[in-house]
Structure 1
Amino acid sequence: MARRQSKNDPYGDLQGADEAPAIVSCWLCGRPTGKTIVWHHPIPKSRGGRDVVPMHSICQQTLIANFTNSELQRHGLDVASLLENPNVRKFIDWVANKAPDFTATIAKKQR
């Protein structure tokens, strides 16, 4: 779910209408995010994770389909170790040339 700006934001007036919004890159694939940004906990909240990173929803679904919470906790914020998984590497290579708002159905967890 994308974050909303607060109605009571004291610094909201400082952003000029002429300024373009900053381009945010996906934590997993590195492509620019589109209209929808998912704020993902690389270390699951159930395992004590507090940090959030911007991701595409399709990239988040891929992580959830390929790793358990305990595996994600072990990898932490290290993207390189996640990319060593052959399924994730294959997905990243496939999605590299897709549009930022591209979405597709991801396979279920293989257990």
Structure 2
Amino acid sequence: MNDRTGACALCGRPFGRRIEWHHLVPKSQGGRETVPLHPICHRTIHATAGNKQLARLYPTLEALSKTSEIARFLKWIADKPPDFHAPTRKGR
């Protein structure tokens, strides 16, 4: 999907200037399927869980969205503009 009129697979907001592609199951863990994300959404996913956790515990965006960290992020990002950027902090 190279459609810039689409929406982020994680937060559902429309895309701005940049789109990044996220492997639902990391390539290092044998994943091939990718989904389009905002850069801030992509960075938040990787700050929240490591590759092994993503492959084993969160192989879908639905499973990932149910984590407290991602659920809190999704509420916070919901009203931000498409090209919004902020520093991403590692999870605890």
TM-score by length of 1: 0.74
Q: CA deviation at 1:39?
A: 1.1
Aligned-residue identity in percent: 41
Unpaired runs of 5+ residues, structure 2, are none
- Whether 1:71 aligns to 2:92 is no
Aligned length: 90
Unpaired runs of 5+ residues, structure 1, are 4-20
* Higher RCO (C-alpha 8 Å, min separation 6): 2
Q: Using the alignment, how far apart are the partners of 1:22 and 1:72 within structure 2? A: 26
Checking the alignment, whether the CA contact within 8 Å between 1:31 and 1:100 is kept in structure 2 is: yes
Q: Using the alignment, how far apart are the partners of 1:79 and 1:52 within structure 2? A: 11
Which amino acid in structure 2 is aligned with residue 35 of structure 1?
R
- Residue matched to 1:35: 17
- Residue matched to 2:8: 26
Checking the alignment, whether the CA contact within 8 Å between 2:4 and 2:15 is kept in structure 1 is: no
Please state whether the residue corresponding to 2:36 is helix, strand or coil.
strand
Checking the alignment, whether the CA contact within 8 Å between 2:26 and 2:51 is kept in structure 1 is: yes
Large movers: runs of 4+ above 2 Å: none
* Aligned-pair Cα RMSD in Å: 1.6
CA gap 1:109/1:22 in 2 versus in 1, 3 angstroms: closer
- Residue matched to 2:32: 50
Checking the alignment, whether the CA contact within 8 Å between 2:19 and 2:37 is kept in structure 1 is: yes
